[in-house]
């Protein structure tokens, strides 16, 4: 993926041409990833929450997943592109994240639809984050970071996914949900649960993405530090 110019030397060379360059810390990268992707994730879960039945009947389960994935891809760059150091980060982020997230989605869908249940979801997350991690380290020419990148993506994604699911089903399965002094309708209660799942899923995977982008650009930061 050299055409993306995300190799360490390419990143450093672009950064030196800019008047000022923001080089995020690990905490800043993970914070932006978590908060930004949580916002994206709520929007990405919205087709399921608000149009799930109609989309399922119209385009099927795979079509529903595809609609959600398109929202994720379309919005992610707007909030997460500063994770890429240097000017021109927005188009480069999209060119990298689009195939990475679609490959991740295919891996998760294969696990979920193939096995179902918690095991299918877990194996799907492992397959998805493994291929996403490989695409990221390949693009940044950071193959030495593959194990820690995949581990961070998988662990943080799994925590967010299963914690969100536990909270969501607790909300959706409760007899009533008080909201500002009233009891919401059953349909609204279901949607709130679905969107809460999106929040926690986004926080987990987003934090993993923040870590992954930071780790993949370690060599670029070293080059910038050496010439500063």
1-31 burial code (b ≥16 CB/10 A, e <16)? eeebebbbebbbbbbeeeeebebbeeeebbe
Q: How confident is the model at residue 1 (pLDDT cuts 50, 70, 90)?
A: very low
CA distance 74 to 79: 10
Q: Which residues pair with 182 in a beta bridge?
A: 179
145-156 tens-digit pLDDT: 999 999 999 999
Cβ-contact 140, 7 below 8 angstroms:
yes
127-142 tens-digit pLDDT: 999 999 999 999 999 9
CA distance 49 to 68: 10
The enclosing H or E element of 178 equals: strand 178-179
CA dist list (Å): 112 to 53, 100, 140, 206: 19, 18, 29, 21
Listed in sequence order, the residues at least 6 apart from 42 whose beta carbon sits closer than 8 Å to its beta carbon are 195, 198, 199, 202
Report the helix count and the strand count for the chain, using DSSP H and E.
7, 2
158-193 tens-digit pLDDT: 999 999 999 998 888 766 556 544 556 778 889 999
């Amino acid at each position: 993926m050299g055409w993306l110019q995300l190799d360490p030397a390419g990143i450093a060379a672009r950064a030196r041409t800019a008047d000022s360059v923001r080089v995020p810390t690990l905490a800043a990268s993970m914070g932006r990833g978590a908060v930004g992707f949580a916002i994206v994730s709520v929007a990405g879960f919205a087709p399921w929450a608000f149009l799930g039945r109609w989309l399922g009947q119209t385009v099927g389960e795979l079509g529903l997943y595809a609609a959600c994935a398109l929202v994720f891809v379309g919005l992610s760059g707007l909030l997460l592109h500063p994770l890429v150091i240097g000017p021109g980060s927005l188009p480069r982020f999209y060119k990298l994240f689009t195939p990475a997230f679609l490959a991740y989605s295919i891996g998760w869908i294969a696990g979920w639809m193939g096995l179902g249940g918690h095991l299918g979801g877990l194996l799907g997350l492992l397959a998805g984050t493994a291929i996403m991690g490989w695409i990221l380290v390949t693009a940044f020419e950071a193959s030495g970071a593959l194990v820690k990148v995949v581990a961070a993506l998988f662990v943080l994604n799994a925590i967010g996914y299963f914690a969100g699911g536990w909270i969501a089903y607790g909300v959706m399965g409760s007899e009533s949900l008080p909201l500002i002094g009233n009891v919401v309708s059953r349909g609204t209660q279901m949607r709130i649960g679905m969107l809460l799942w999106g929040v926690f899923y986004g926080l987990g995977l987003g934090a993993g993405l923040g870590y992954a982008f930071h780790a993949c650009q370690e060599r670029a930061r070293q080059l910038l530090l050496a010439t500063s």
